[in-house]
Chains A and B, each alone.
Chain A
Amino acid sequence: MFGQILRRMLLAIPVLWIVATITFLMVRVVPGGPFDADKHLSPEIVANLKAKYKLDRPVVEQYGHYLARLARGDLGVSYKYVNRTVNDILGEAFPVSVQLGFAGLLIAVAVGVPLGTMAAVKRGTAFDAGAMFLSTAGISVPGFVVGAVLILVFGIWLKWLPVALFESWRHLVLPALTLAASPAAYLARLTRASVLEVLEKDWVRTARSKGLSDERTIFRHVLRNALVPVVTVLGPLTAILITGSFVVEYIYAIPGMGRFFITAVTNRDYDLIMGTTLIFGVLLIITNAIVDIVYQLLDPRIKLES
């Protein structure tokens, strides 16, 4: 297995190179530049800025410089946040997003998987209908609405939890719930569909006919097989959640990195755009590799070689 993981990691290098190259070219093709502002700068000042950031060099040379820096782990400098490197910016914001993302992920899994399982087991009952109504609402209602409602109820009316900011664990509760709402709903629906499919299998009937208890059948046989599609989506979902959510960070004033996926583009902050894209790419590769390993643990018939 170690060899397979190593091979996956080596394969990640060309993938990241392609991502870096495409992003590098795209950000330079988009109209508008990092120094366009409502007060136009004189050509002399623009020339000074371009010289400082080496944007006066040919694009091929800029690309070469970028790759050389990247190879040393240097993601470049921000043009918006003067004197700050992309490593500094993301180094401060990423741990915050990881905390929030894992809290959201835990809630999503803790709510979504049991809810979906119960709904499948109690198919056709009021519980099933209620669970599916909730999950449809969770998917359909946008995060900013969920956030606003939670703030209004728990922050302003009941005053149980802080409205916003990031000072203690209590400040994480509402953002994590907001972040978890949609993934939990999605996981519930996915788990329900998957469990229903597995429940129809002959070997489930066989297990029951052998006299296995319901709990043992569900936990040991049904869930283990039904979770394969759930684990598949957990990979990219983890990458998405731990790199931050623009909406959640925005409405709760959380200093995570989700905002940079948007603001770096609107500011044409080239290196920061590249940095966020690459970090997301790296996380996607890692989480997908972990998913592949978990596949094997859940179902030994699946081999990494295949």
Chain B
Amino acid sequence: MYPVLKTVYIRCLGLSLMSFMLALSLFGCGGGKTYEPDTLRMNLQAEPPSLDWLVTTDSTSFDVISNLMIGLTQYTNSLKCNAGCAQRWEVLDGGRRYLFHLRKDVLWTDGQPVLARDFEYAWKRLLDPKTAAQYAFFLYDLENGFEFNSGKVKDAAQVGVKALDNHTLEVRLRRPAAYFIYLTAFCPTYPQRQDIVEKYGDRWTEPEHIVTNGPFMLTLWRHEYKIELTANPRFIEGPPKLKKIKMFMIPEQATAFGLYENNQLDYVDNRSFPTADVERYRNSPHYTNIPLLRATYLAFNVKKKPFDDVRVRRAFSMAIDRTTFPKILRRGERPAYSWIPPQLAGYSEKSAVHFDPLTARRLLAEAGYPDGKNFPPVKLLYPHREDAKLVVEQAQEQIKRHLNVRVQLEVNEWKVYLETVRRDPPPIFRQSWGADYPDAETFMNLFTTHNGNNDTRWSNALYDSLVERAAGEQDPERRKALYAEADALLCKEEAPIIPTYFATQNLMVKPWVKGMEFNALDVQFFKDVSISPAR
């Protein structure tokens, strides 16, 4: 009907299409390359909320900071504390006082030496109420650490950290804490330069201002998109083999994995590895699965009936076959029978609670609910996320099958869930916990009476005493025994929680990436990584 119009339109469309194809052919394809020389390309998934190691609390930030900084000590991938800025340290007064002797050749990226006063400044800044650091509690073991942070002590000089001279740092603790040395390798205790922080204020962590002392330097931070680190020629152990690390922030797992498959990322971890692909690549030589110090559990509010009865709690715990969780989650998780993970000192087979439906039914009958009769309706609350849903549905099904008890599931949006659990915990709820440092203390302290994260409301004087004694115990064997006893009390005898599984890290690493190692704490260090052609 309108041939000219049609012709014009089709011509325009054709021309556009031809130009488009031509442009694509001119600019080449996107996936032909393999690796970039001396450059590691990875996915952080999200923007680090901050690179100020005193105020940030999340693993994304720590993944960056751990490659920019070293503390008094530094972790190996086997999670031992090696010398960092401190070449040696003395433990004095039965574990109440530490003297750290700093190396004299550790330099900041601007060439200034790292001094004891940089630690004193940083630790006091961490505890300063004005900093409002969420991880200030990590230094509550210092003399007057809590008091200064809560405003009860105004004078920072009373806090138990002091630079005795340029290269000697004294730390005074309010009680012996055998795990304290681990904290000195953890981001919130890294040193800071007072002159830099005060000069640049809120913007001191931007690449043009920040000074660091680790293997890499921050050279580019394009917010919400990419961070670039380059090798630090002044690093105490010599410049790292990599010249550059590109850390992208790709939120979608499938997109990131597509980039990996197209050789645009050199390795992927859980953040970039969809479950379907984990299954597809499980037998690949480039696939690795590392158990993490991260546990998921179902918690009871022991103040709410019927879970104020220990027999009911134990019955629920024994009625759940933990081996089913890895099967439904499909990411190589490990069933959890105890609260202390197997990688940590203090773990004992004897503390483990096992699947035993017969005993579970007997305990429930003893509690007054034979074959689940007259059991009141109970609610299990979980946050809105897929893995939590799968776990609670599985638990619901098993409890029904083995105890004939019907559990009602309720889901909440994440922040609503957190507030509900903090304000008025429901009878059962799904929780998880990740280690901040590789010591049983980080797990066991959680269920002590006064721990703010103990949402079970469970309080046991013997447990508190065992954990308190273990924290200060300097003898490793006695310490292990104390934790094992406390773990058995928690999981087998009192059962305020049902440990369900330990998470794992799933990784795919390209063959040209050498020296890449991972650890159970899930902190990634790249100083020994190199890129070289695969054979």
Contact = CB atoms under 8 A, between A and B. Distances in A.
Interface of A: 30-33, 35-45, 47-49, 51-53, 80-84, 89, 92-93, 114, 118, 121-122, 148, 151, 155-156, 159-166, 170, 213-215, 218, 250-253, 255, 259, 266-268
A37 B264 CA distance: 33
A255 B258 contact: no
Given A48-B133, A170-B30, 14 more contacts: A32-B415, A36-B419, A37-B418, A41-B134, A45-B149, A47-B150, A81-B47, A83-B205, A84-B223, A93-B224, A121-B1, A163-B30, A218-B5, A267-B415
B500 interface: no
B5 A215 contact: yes
Interface in B6-36: 6, 8-9, 12, 24, 27, 29-32
A161 B24 CA distance: 7
Interface string B93-137: 000000000000000000000000000000000000111111011
A253 B31 contact: no
A241 to B, nearest CB: 19
Contact of B249 (A40, A93, A218, A253): A253
Contacts of B2: 121-122, 214-215, 218
Helix, strand, loop or mixed for chain A's interface?
Answer: loop
A160 B24 contact: yes
Query: In the complex, which of the residues A122, A164, A213, A259 has the most CB atoms of chain B within 10 Å of its own CB atom?
Result: A164
Nearest to B61: A82
Interface string B129-169: 11111101100000000100111000000000000000000
Interface stretch (B52-60, B174-182, B488-496, B526-534): B52-60
Contacts of B420: 31
A250 B5 CA distance: 39
Contact of B262 (A30, A37, A156): A156
B197 to A, nearest CB: 11
Interface in B375-408: none
B248 to A, nearest CB: 7
Contacts of A164: 250, 252, 255-256, 258-259
A155 B252 contact: no
Given A45-B134, A259-B224, A252 B55 contact: no
Nearest to B30: A162
B156 to A, nearest CB: 15
A36 B413 CA distance: 12
Given A38-B418, A266-B415, A49 B255 contact: no
A100 to B, nearest CB: 13
Contacts of A39: 57, 433, 453
A32 B261 CA distance: 39
B37 to A, nearest CB: 18
19 contacts: A31-B416, A41-B452, A45-B134, A45-B136, A82-B56, A84-B223, A148-B254, A155-B262, A162-B264, A163-B264, A164-B255, A165-B250, A170-B24, A214-B1, A214-B5, A218-B5, A253-B248, A255-B223, A255-B249
A155 B251 contact: no
B251 to A, nearest CB: 5
Contacts of B281: none
B452 A82 contact: no
A33 B414 CA distance: 11
The 8 nearest A-B residue pairs measured at CB: A32-B415, A255-B225, A44-B150, A82-B50, A255-B224, A83-B202, A52-B132, A253-B250
A151 B255 contact: yes
Contacts of B514: none
B422 interface: yes
A114 B9 contact: yes
B474 interface: no
Given A218-B5, A266-B415, A51 B30 contact: no
A141 B419 CA distance: 36
Contact of B52 (A83, A148, A161): A83
A162 B33 CA distance: 12
Contacts of B251: 250, 253, 259
A52 B453 contact: no
A30 to B, nearest CB: 8
A161 B452 CA distance: 51
B478 interface: no
B238 interface: no
Nearest to A121: B2
Contacts of B255: 151, 163-164, 251-253
Contacts of A80: 49
Contacts of B261: 156
A267 to B, nearest CB: 8
A85 to B, nearest CB: 8
Nearest to A163: B258
B286 interface: no
B47 A155 contact: no
Given A48-B149, A82-B55, A89-B223, A163 B259 contact: yes
Interface string B464-478: 000000000000000
A215 B2 CA distance: 7
B419 A45 contact: no
Contacts of B205: 83
B232 to A, nearest CB: 23
Query: In the complex, which of the residues A41, A44, A267 has the most CB atoms of chain B within 10 Å of its own CB atom?
Result: A44
B85 to A, nearest CB: 25
Given A156-B262, A255-B225, A121 B149 contact: no
B330 interface: no
Interface string B402-437: 000000000001111011101000000001110000
